Structure 1
């Protein structure tokens, strides 16, 4: 093994290159405190690398917190906390007198597998003092609380002074409202709340609380036809939604986002043919550049009736508007059944994380050269009626 004395002979640039091959915790244990030069190099390293405590053992955490962390808090710009491998890690951090605001120059905070709402509220409360924090991610936390217990968490998050990227996909709420929110964030531009279900009025509460939003990902259920909305979101450029509801409600949503350039939408039990989509895109979304669609459909009738319905649906997407003007191709997969036929129509290439596998699949596409569009690289999970789901890790679909 190369000794530290021999490593000292290397120039700083080469040492920093070598640091790329080591885990941050290993670097701290091996080199921090050796001399001022190595300390300074680790400070430089932390300016571009995350302090990842996700897989740290309790023994290592105790060592890091007692020996190194007090000297590093003003040099760490990205921090990842997780209770998955080390239970109560976040509590251990606080009990060591390292509240999150001690990391004064923190720009990015990643919270993973922290199943306690109280801990999340405490962490985000101190974030209001972090004037450089721009990115917050909360995932796999399995927070499924009543709304009244969650409102403090959202108050805290919306109160972070410079927050622009906010990923809250780790929070699950069946019904969400910011009606009681007193804080408006002018800085949040990207908001991801895929597991928080909204109706139309709740959606526009979110938009009113984040008026400069540019990118939104959420789930919407709305069959309302009487909601009056007057908050046009000029800043919105990208929208990803899972939608179940009426066509009128969907039109209401999209009509408030005239500058949208990217729409990614999955619908359930909503049959909209190419003519309806064309009318929506032309009337409300004239600036659209990327359109990604997945519709889960149900057809009734015998095999002949179903095939006729599918052909009519696909023909409506096989027009000059879809093929020549935009090159937006679609495919429909369906599985014939004696009672109800399930079908999936989606744009090519496939752009969604989950794909439903039909055991005896019929398929038809509007694309003549499918080899150019036969890509399923976004898929992470299979679902079918026999096996609910199957995750794909490091598995390439061609």
Structure 2
């Protein structure tokens, strides 16, 4: 069936997954049916990484079409581009002009914009979702004036900024924050009694509490159902005290590094039986220091293979030993990042398909020693979108044709190249990268972002076939190192501009000011540039 023959109900569901910018670009002038339809659906408008021209054009469309304005449900404004979207937008519109706006995301708010936001945000009383990304320690100043009576979902980055001091956030049911001290978390939980979902990426203990446990009292998180702690850096006793106040918890995700007491399976079993009656999903990753001659680690890990874990709860685990560390984790692996090294010895769980274990990993670092036929069959990362190729000390002749082909073949075995969107090549990589990168680009059809250092990039610019692929595919370029390593003369900088004429985003550490001026004038499609 042709797309235009689909009923409106299905089309509306499809459009919910698309940015309003793309919907209007594709369907606004198609025919009367689509013209009318897209003006009567919920619109999710995300301006991040959008060129100034497209941003201004759509703002004009909003000004001239009230039927577009009244259907905007979600809005994302960002200051990460070459121009200040937030300031430009709030200078043209007031949020009370968007009666259906319920979700707002603001990225990289500037301090001089807080006062304006504090004037117009109270006019958006229906707001239920607020994401503050890279707010530069301005969270408290924004939230103190924000209309939070109906706010249900709050997500902040960089710092939790004394959320426990903001009484208005009591309505929140879903809270995400990057890091928090355990005692501050205690205070925050008292402030948000209706909380159902808590995601705190990093929880640590203040120095004054290192030898004394915090006393959790005067609150009960009876509504909390989901808890995520990706980096928990406290004692087991502290976690035990905290978790006893969450009697209805159903899902727990926790990652702990180098706390040996945390890998005591019997302690977890006792805690779950005594305090977590409702727990149905328990996902963890525990990593500890480990010596090669420490065979007690096998006994500790085997305690997680008992009837309680595997049969009663179906919490299946496996573990990996390295030269100086060991880790045990539930399947699938919970984190989205992983570093694959040659010293990894994997003890797979025979009860599950070992090739699906790392399906949550989207960000992968691979040492070059791993990319040999003897090793590659042990691991499969099929969902990786961000791949880093890292060099390690190795004695082979890395430019031999057979070695280069083995490198590529092993890479194909470990990752699905067609899913890769961003490729990073470490600054100490000494392989013949022109051949490797060309082979990757031939298969990585979704690759559009490249991070590289000048001396490696300089060695690639003389390969004509590679130039064509770089020009066709790369839209975001990240370079770390002095621009003089590439631009030895004017012809070289002109060649660079021709090869990367289609990039829209450029990040460069240590770029010469004269080179920067030239790049700005020649790279006409740039919408964002960051120079350190």
Q: Aligned equivalents of 1:292 and 1:235: distance in 2?
A: 20
Superposed CA deviations along residues 225-271 of structure 1, whole A, max 9, x for unmatched, are: 14242311000000000200111111111111110000000012212
Greater shift after overlay, 274-283 or 234-243? 274-283
- Residue in 2 aligned with 1:64? 58
Q: Aligned equivalents of 1:118 and 1:36: distance in 2?
A: 43
Change (3 A) 1:334 1:119: farther
Unpaired runs of 5+ residues, structure 1, are: 1-6
Q: Aligned equivalents of 1:349 and 1:11: distance in 2?
A: 37
The answer to whether the aligner puts 1:160 opposite 2:148 as a matched pair is yes
Change (3 A) 1:117 1:329: farther
Contact 2:284 2:330 survives alignment (8 Å): yes
Superposed CA deviations along residues 113-136 of structure 1, whole A, max 9, x for unmatched, are: 425255367446633332332222
Provide the alpha-carbon RMSD of the alignment.
Answer: 3.7
Higher helix share: 2
Map of 1:148-227 to 2, 5 A cutoff? 149-156=138-145, 159-168=147-156, 171-173=157-159, 176-186=161-171, 188-193=172-177, 195=178, 197-218=179-200, 219-222=202-205, 223=210, 224-227=212-215
Secondary structure of 2:38 counterpart: helix
Contact 1:213 1:235 survives alignment (8 Å): yes
Change (3 A) 1:44 1:63: same
Map of 1:22-101 to 2, 5 A cutoff? 24-25=20-21, 28=24, 40-45=36-41, 47=42, 49-69=43-63, 71=66, 72-85=68-81, 87-96=83-92, 98-101=93-96
| Corresponding residue to 2:287 among 290, 296, 300 | 296
Change (3 A) 1:117 1:324: farther
Change (3 A) 1:27 1:346: closer
CA positional deviation for 1:50: 1.0
Contact 1:260 1:288 survives alignment (8 Å): yes
Q: Aligned equivalents of 1:370 and 1:11: distance in 2?
A: 40
Change (3 A) 1:43 1:279: same
Contact 1:200 1:227 survives alignment (8 Å): no
CA positional deviation for 1:181: 2.4
Contact 2:151 2:169 survives alignment (8 Å): no
Secondary structure of 1:68 counterpart: helix
Contact 2:251 2:279 survives alignment (8 Å): yes
The answer to whether the aligner puts 1:354 opposite 2:343 as a matched pair is no
Change (3 A) 1:13 1:283: closer
Change (3 A) 1:181 1:362: same
CA positional deviation for 1:55: 4.1
Superposed CA deviations along residues 152-200 of structure 1, whole A, max 9, x for unmatched, are: 234345x4222212222xx212x753343232422x111111x2x2222
- Residue in 2 aligned with 1:134? 128
Change (3 A) 1:316 1:58: same
Unpaired runs of 5+ residues, structure 2, are: 370-382, 388-413, 417-532
Secondary structure of 1:77 counterpart: strand
| Corresponding residue to 1:321 among 280, 304, 308 | 308
- Residue in 2 aligned with 1:109? 104
Q: Aligned equivalents of 1:33 and 1:214: distance in 2?
A: 44
Secondary structure of 1:327 counterpart: coil
Greater shift after overlay, 238-247 or 59-68? 59-68
Change (3 A) 1:78 1:69: farther
Q: Aligned equivalents of 2:275 and 2:12: distance in 1?
A: 51
Map of 1:378-393 to 2, 5 A cutoff? 378-383=360-365, 392-393=384-385
Q: Aligned equivalents of 1:27 and 1:298: distance in 2?
A: 52
Contact 2:132 2:139 survives alignment (8 Å): no
Q: Aligned equivalents of 1:184 and 1:229: distance in 2?
A: 20
Contact 2:183 2:214 survives alignment (8 Å): no
- Residue in 2 aligned with 1:3? none
Superposed CA deviations along residues 44-86 of structure 1, whole A, max 9, x for unmatched, are: 13x2x31232343323333333353352332211222223345
Contact 1:231 1:256 survives alignment (8 Å): yes
The answer to whether the aligner puts 1:310 opposite 2:297 as a matched pair is yes
Map of 1:364-383 to 2, 5 A cutoff? 364-365=347-348, 367-371=349-353, 374-383=356-365
Q: Aligned equivalents of 1:65 and 1:29: distance in 2?
A: 14
Contact 2:105 2:132 survives alignment (8 Å): yes
CA positional deviation for 1:31: 7.8
Q: Aligned equivalents of 1:335 and 1:31: distance in 2?
A: 54
Change (3 A) 1:126 1:255: farther
Superposed CA deviations along residues 18-60 of structure 1, whole A, max 9, x for unmatched, are: 9959963466579879999876433213x2x312323433233
Q: Aligned equivalents of 2:30 and 2:299: distance in 1?
A: 73
CA positional deviation for 1:95: 2.1
Q: TM-score, with normalisation over the residues of structure 2?
A: 0.60
| Corresponding residue to 2:258 among 256, 260, 269 | 269
